[in-house]
Structure 1
């Protein structure tokens, strides 16, 4: 989904900006248009933060608002989730047309149980008769149109810009070539390298005096310990990434010359590498030296074939080593797809390996080892990841600008405030402040936790706006602050609080629907429900007549689904769980299971359903936690207590789902819009650059925004 960006990894912000700008030619040059997406930023929340002074009116979003134009509402597409939202922005077309239906969905020609990622699915669909590449795609990314017109485009972690050949998963037939997903400088979003985050709790008994050789290596690296160096008596952990096995060791140093035994630094290193003195050339980092200062230390995995890395964060370190708590973040890398390897290596060598991004598995205690960590320490880890990852993504954007100063368009994706919105939107009295305690709602909520979470969300918006300011500084400004490039900042969707997790599997099976023939693929509160249709799915088993019966039954079950609990259902229209339940059309004379509509795309479900706000398919705990007032004798509950707070994917017309829209630059008029649409962004950029939109574009250029 966030699809999180919430400490420094490679350089301070100032140094990164300096390095990026140093590469720009002496004669000023900057891209003509810079498009920035701040994932999950909501228009009304941003407006509230400007009114209260949380957001600076003179920098970042505030500068664009003051010198250019902004919209009070930016209507995104339904479902209002990340992959469809960004492809809608890039193509000027809705999800039903661009065929990116969700963050995860099913390609109808593949095996029934096979899912595909919306971030790597074919934009504009594919030809189901092969399956093969479509000769007439239903949507076209604006970068394809621009490059065909001789324009230069760079993408910095923008969804769909990944340089990958898209293969149909069952047959492995090519269904979209990498050329559609490659621009002049293409940096894809990073990938998980296979080793998730882990928490560690150590005590004094875990350490013994280090060797003289260890102390000598540390001294050569510039680290002196004023008490005997201590080393964990055994390996901290062993894992394999990029075909290399790493044996991680940890030692403790006392870096304060105060005649007191007071260990304050941990050093993490690989047994095979030892402690080397440096200096190190990116992506290399050498050992990770960590103090309890709220910032993590990066750690490159030397020799990994995928150029992966991680980071360490110390949350508590007793001076006598009686209690030591720290985290090793998940391992990550940038996919090194052949068509874009030069761009990827440029980032690895000049910005660094893919930084650990905000990881919800840490504060939700899903990753191992964090069970006994205090909430504040886990929240501190997440806040560190927000700062460091936004800084890293911004550095990538700045590098893209510096390496392409004459580009016509640079597209930059920033993950925040989406991740923080999911974690910290604790604004509804029905939300539990203790996920395991159903009575921690209403008057039972923890006011201190609510206040902390509100502050974290504010920080996420501030951090994202600061990233925009760094990019504005890179392209330069006129004397009145107006950017020298046309800078447009949007988001893919907003964010809303939710209180109840919904099990669609239990809903179907409890109502007698055979879940071997029907299955739901969910993204947040949106679900595509597929029927295993013969002649469509590669292994389909359901006849056309049974398909029609099953589709009708699914619609009846979902439309009749309700929440009977008055503690929670008071905001539901008619008490119904679902806002939309839309079946795939079955017109006479056309094959069953293939027809499309304005709401149903080629690879959408046979029934598409979207919950009402307050309810979400994600967040179910294991074991399930019953809500206050629910029947605890039900063994397969549909509704239960969720373990996080914010969701998107609801009806795009709701104000909570509204995206942001800010724009300023030489071609932008000053003014305020009541409403715009995200599908209008691509044709507006094409108009600025003097290129006609593809025939598949559904949006319209915002002519009233432009000076000419």
Structure 2
């Protein structure tokens, strides 16, 4: 009996000691990880900005270098393009394993004469992602706006997913003139209202068919007895008496919200010009779209707390000279701040272990304004002032992201670890190869019912597929002749020379049997021939007749106005990673393609890492979360001693 009392007393005493030793201390909370991809953040540019102290000492990147961890550089996979690189970041495997071998690829069963193949942003994934692995092991995952997380299939969905925005209709620019005036007694706040008629398109043209007509009304809010129009009211019907969806003021952006089917959308709109006396005016209505999300209650919560997706900045309208650079940058900044608000709103929630976020600002700005090569058409424009202005734009983009990240880190709870990466770098380009035109010029049929081969490009890289009988739908090339066609394509691609340097344009030309060298040898998605251009060059797979197979590039009309009209038309409608001043998609080993890796948080050691692989990101996150990495992940935990 005494023995039992003695044992019980010792047990109680030990419990008391444990209780006293932990009094006032918070129990160890579960580890949380925020993974943010800063699309296009180039290690070579960020290194230079930090070296010259162009970014503030209290900014995110400087702070992470001092108090967290950072890598000398991070080597992306090949092809170093957005869809390809992100899926490798999220799976820890090369493209030959996950299946996304390009931003634009031909899938099994697709007809080779299609102008565009399947987007790498929506292609099915063939291996597990970090968010799938985390959920399988009982973790809660919130995916915010990141590449590959579009909610279309289970492997592209987290516990909660707010998918990357999907446009429903492009923007509208309307030239307006007054057609009818009347005193607006019943329109509160206005002295005069006049109906406007449009000289140009006045409707949203939906991608899936149908139109949403838009009606404009001119208004005077001064109440001084003098006609002085200063406002434009916008509505979706002709009856202004029942209200309106938008009130636009000069020199101000206005958000107009309305519903398209079951989707609530927003158009950020702007008066570009308004004559207060005559009413002659020009109005820009921003594109509309939505975020594919799951569950729907999560989307509704984000729409209510943060707002509706404002859509991307309007590249095509800027290229065509229909909006100003200032308007474009207003859109870019609005979008970046919207992404930050989405991340911040979710960081403060309790019900997550892994949260992913995404910023496109740096990538978007560099595509348009990376002017660093003397061979670029814009290099000497405006007596060099354009080059200096564009340099400031690039700096502004990095500075803005640095500030937004800093605010996120400061606002996050103490138990949150941040991993900040990019998917690839960026390189300035001066010329474009229209690769299908090049193949056609060398006797290969690339269009019509007898297509022999077709190239599908991703920036400065391209997969070339031979239209083989029995393999492709409506194939025309007998299987026994496949090797001959491959050898011919390889030969002519290797012979293409830069007219200035006489160096080969394609730095890498590989047969499908050789693609293992760069880990894009997928058995039924990779091309029969793969080419990767030298830094300074991009590739377009568009089929455009009447222009050369090599053209200089620019987005700016004044830079290419001396070129042939058809070349001008091609350049004015080019994609960002095709005809932009900056592109990505070269082999990941190229210095200008190198990505960034920074980290900070309670579980992140303070250290400088050597060069790491993009495949290392997933195992590092898995170790922080104390889970097993995705089933096929190849990389290592970079924080492991």
Q: Secondary structure at the match of 2:418?
A: strand
Work out whether 1:291 is the aligned partner of 2:291. Answer: no
1:600 aligns with 2:521: yes
- Would the aligned equivalents of 1:386 and 1:460 in 2 still touch at CA under 8 Å? no
The partner residue of 1:616 within 520, 533, 538 is 538
- Secondary structure (helix, strand or coil) at the match of 1:575 reads coil
* Change in 2 beyond 3 A, CA 1:446/1:604: farther
Q: Which moved more, 1:249-258 or 1:444-453?
A: 249-258
Cα separation, partners in 2 of 1:549 and 1:245, compared to 1, 3 Å = closer
What secondary structure, in the 3-state scheme, does the structure 1 residue paired with 2:595 have? Answer: coil
| Structure with a larger share of its residues in strand | 2
Residues 653-703 of structure 1: CA deviation (Å, up to 9, x unaligned): 222111121100011112223422211100100011111223411211102
What are the superposed Cα offsets for residues 349-401 of structure 1, whole Å, 9 maximum, x if unpaired?
Answer: 33333212122102111xxxx5xx5xxx5211210110111122222223333
8 A contact 2:462–2:531 mirrored in 1: yes
For residue 415 of structure 1, the aligned residue among 360, 372, 375 is 360
Of 413, 419, 430, 1:476 maps to 413
Q: Which residue does 1:128 correspond to in 2?
A: none
Question: CA separation of 1:272/1:555 partners in 2, compared to 1, >3 Å: closer, same or farther?
Answer: same
Q: Distance in 2 between matches of 1:111 and 1:70?
A: 45
Distance 1:245 1:653, change over 3 A: closer
Alpha-carbon distance in structure 1 between the residues aligned to 2:374 and 2:468: 43
1:262-273 mapped onto 2 (5 Å cutoff): 262-271=228-237
TM alignment of 1:22-171, pairs within 5 A: 32-114=32-114, 115-124=117-126, 139-164=127-152
Q: Please say if residues 186 and 241 of structure 2, whose CA atoms lie closer than 8 Å, have aligned partners that are also in contact.
A: no
The residue number in structure 1 matching 2:16 is none
Structure 1 pair 303/576, CA: closer, same or farther in 2 (3 Å)? closer
Question: Over residues 241-270 of structure 1, what are the superposed CA-to-partner deviations in whole Å (9 max), with x where a residue is unaligned?
Answer: 588853322233445578876543333222
- Which one has a larger percent helix, Structure 1 or Structure 2? 2
Aligned residue in 1 for 2:186: 216
SS in 2 for 1:112: coil
User: Which residue does 1:23 correspond to in 2?
Assistant: none
What is the RMSD of the two structures over their aligned residues, measured on CA atoms? 3.4
Query: TM-score, normalised on structure 1?
Result: 0.76
Is contact 1:156–1:188 with CA below 8 Å preserved after alignment? yes
CA distance in 2, matches of 1:598, 1:303: 43
Partner residue of 1:357?
Answer: 312
Query: Which of 389, 394, 401 does residue 335 from structure 2 map onto?
Result: 389
**2:212 matched residue in structure 1:** 246
Q: CA contact under 8 A between 2:31 and 2:624: conserved in structure 1?
A: no
Task: Give the 3 Å change call, closer, same or farther, for CA 76–238 of structure 1 in structure 2.
Answer: same
User: 308-317 vs 550-559, which deviates more?
Assistant: 308-317
What count of residue pairs does the alignment treat as equivalent?
A: 590
Q: Please give the alpha-carbon distance, in whole angstroms, between the structure 2 residues aligned to 1:231 and 1:272.
A: 9
| Structure with larger Rg | 2
Secondary structure of the structure 2 residue equivalent to 1:251: strand
Q: Which residue matches 2:8?
A: none
Could you tell me which residue of structure 2 aligns to residue 451 of structure 1? Answer: 388
Residue aligned with 1:348, SS: helix
Give the corresponding residue for 1:502.
433
Question: How many Å separate the matches in 2 of 1:45 and 1:607?
Answer: 32
CA contact (8 A) 1:416 1:464 kept: yes
**Maintained 8 Å contact 2:435/2:541:** no
Q: 1:254 to 1:274 in 2, by over 3 A?
A: closer
The question of whether the paired residues in 2 share the 8 Å contact of 1:288 and 1:311 is answered with no
How far apart are the structure 2 equivalents of 1:612 and 1:256? 60
Per-residue Cα deviation, 1:553-600 (whole angstroms, up to 9, x for no partner): 111111111122x2xx3xxxx6110111111119xxxxxxx9998332
Superimposed CA distance per residue, residues 634-659 of structure 1 (whole angstroms, 9 cap, x where no aligned partner): x999x999853111111212221111
Q: What SS does structure 2 have at the residue aligned with 1:326?
A: strand
The one of 371, 376, 382 aligned to 1:431: 376
Q: TM-score, normalised by structure 2?
A: 0.83
SS of structure 1 residue aligned to 2:147:
coil
Inter-CA distance 211–94: structure 2 relative to 1 (3 Å threshold): farther
2:545 and 2:302 map into 1 onto residues whose CA distance is: 40
Cα distance, 1:342–1:448 mapped onto 2, change above 3 Å: same
Distance 2:131 2:56 in 1: 32
- Measured at CA, do residues 696 and 28 of structure 1 come closer, stay the same or move farther in structure 2, by a change above 3 Å? closer
SS in 2 for 1:229: strand
Secondary structure in 1 matching 2:212: strand
Q: Name stretches of at least 5 consecutive residues in structure 2 with no aligned partner.
A: 1-26, 553-558
Distance in 2 (alpha carbons) for counterparts of 1:536 and 1:207: 60
Match of 1:465 among 402, 405, 429: 402
Asked whether the equivalents of residues 605 and 639 of structure 2 are also in contact (C-alpha less than 8 Å), the reply is no
1:317-336 alignment runs, 5 A limit: 317-321=274-278, 324-335=281-292
